[in-house]
Amino acid sequence: MSSDPHDAPATHAADRTRLLVLGEARILQPGMLRWLRAVAWAVALLALMVVVAVAVPLLCGRLLPPGAGQLAPYATASMAAILYAVAVRLGERRWPAELAWRAMPSQLTLGLLLGAAMFAAVMALMVALGVYAIRWTGPAPAWGALGKALQAGVVEELMLRAILLRLLWRAFGPWLAFALSAALFGLAHLGNPNASVFAALCIAVEAGIMLGAFYVLTGRLWVSIGVHAAWNFTQGYLFGAAVSGTDMGPAVARSTVQAGMPDWLSGGAFGPEASLPGLLVCTVVGAIATWVAWRKGRFGAPGRRADSAPVS
């Protein structure tokens, strides 16, 4: 799905270590009001993703036989990735390096393992503190939870990282892009059941910064997608906890908040990701990833890079 951005030499030495491809051609070509064109392009791509997220499940509900509704999240994730790639090819004259297939096996696996380990660490900490009790409930079908986790990982990472973070970076530079994309990710979760300002803050820091740092560090979305999907799956299916205020369905265990525990410590009905332990674990990982990216020069110079060679 991608030509490798390293095949083309960087024009500025400061950008040679930046792996994240911002886009240089067609809509994003240098010139007058480039920042405004980048913002408008971001809005258009976000609108495309929203249409996919709404239309594909509706079509699946009408076209698929009864009982096959669990396929809808898989179809939504696949269609979102395909249409994003086609849109970038048409609008930026490149295949998206952020979805390069060659990097997928190793980076997605790393993300899945890291996401599961991080959430397990959060729950281990909260069980040790007496915040949660976990009860094994036995085998349960996993396809529903797996599909929901995959859809969230793919669609939300495309929207928040590949579109918002990347194109805001193109318009305003890396630091404002990080701040705005993280804040918007947190604000978007205020519409979820049982959300609070503290929950939105946790989401903004945990996912907005940490997952953005993985994207900048690798230049690909696969680690971010893996962490996002595995965190949700582990949280909702393996531990049976609420995921951003929603129920993932059947689970192999149930996690219950112990009586008298404050929401800021347990996450309350929103789930452990809105807890102080969750915030601490993700902040540490996000800070390390950001520091490593900075040390490796992944932030480069905000203005220019040869990115990938234009495809004629």
User: Can you give 210-231 as a three-state secondary structure string?
Assistant: HHHHHHHHHCCCHHHHHHHHHH
The residue among 155 and 306 whose pLDDT is bigger is 155
- For the cut 50, the answer to whether the pLDDT of residue 309 exceeds it is no
* Residue 155 CB-density burial (10 A; 0-12 exposed, 13-18 middle, 19+ buried): buried
pLDDT of residue 66: 81
User: For residues 93-104, b (16+ Cβ closer than 10 Å) or e, as one string?
Assistant: bbbbbbbbeebb
Is the per-residue pLDDT at 304 higher than 80?
Answer: no
Q: Measured between alpha carbons, how far is 181 from 187 in angstroms, rounded to an integer?
A: 10
Of 119, 131, 97, residue with least CA distance to 1: 97
Question: Is the pLDDT at 207 greater than 70, yes or no?
Answer: yes
Please give the pLDDT value at position 281: 96
Tell me what pLDDT residue 310 has. Answer: 36
What pLDDT was estimated at residue 83? 98
Domain chopping of the chain, boundaries? 5-295
Check whether 16 has a pLDDT greater than 80.
no
| Res. 128: pLDDT tops 90 | yes
69 compared with 32, residue with greater pLDDT: 32
What is the Cα–Cα distance from 204 to 198, expressed in whole angstroms?
Answer: 10
What was the pLDDT predicted at 259? 93
In the three-class reduction of DSSP (H, G, I as helix; E, B as strand; rest coil), residue 271 is classed as coil
Region 51-67: mean pLDDT is 92
pTM: 0.90
pLDDT of residue 13: 45
* pLDDT reported for residue 2: 43
Strand partners for 253: 136
pLDDT at 29 > cutoff 60 = yes
**Nearest partner of 4 among 25, 23, 21, judged by Cα:** 21
Distance between CA 266 and CA 279 in Å, rounded? Answer: 11
Tell me if 150 sits within 8 A of 75, measured CB to CB. Answer: no
- Angstrom distance (rounded) from CA 83 to CA 239: 34
Q: Is the pLDDT of residue 272 over 70?
A: yes
- What is the sign, positive or negative, of the torsion defined by CA atoms of 213, 218, 222, 227? negative
The pLDDT value recorded for residue 300 is: 80
Q: What pLDDT does 208 receive? A: 87
Q: Residue 15's pLDDT band (boundaries 50, 70, 90)?
A: low
Cα 2 to its chain centre, rounded Å, is 20
In sequence order, which residues have a C-beta less than 8 Å from that of residue 127 and are 6 or more positions away? Answer: 133, 134
Mean pLDDT value across the chain: 90
Question: How much is the CA Rg of the chain, to the nearest whole Å?
Answer: 20
Which percentage of the chain shows pLDDT scores above 90?
85
Locate the DSSP E strands across the chain: 132-136, 253-257
**Mean pLDDT, range 236-264, rounded to an integer:** 94
Q: Please, which pLDDT band fits residue 301 given cuts at 50, 70 and 90?
A: low
**Which is nearest to 41 in space by CA: 76, 103, 80, 87?**
87
Task: State pLDDT tens for residues 30-56.
Answer: 999 999 999 999 999 999 999 999 999
Contacts of 62 (CB under 8 A, 6+ apart): none
CA distances from 94 to 16, 26, 162, 221, 291 (A): 19, 10, 14, 16, 29
d(CA 292, CA 282): 15
DSSP state of 249: S
Assigned token pair, 249: 């369905």
Q: Is the pLDDT of residue 311 over 70?
A: no
Distances (CA, A) of 191 to 40, 118, 205: 24, 25, 17
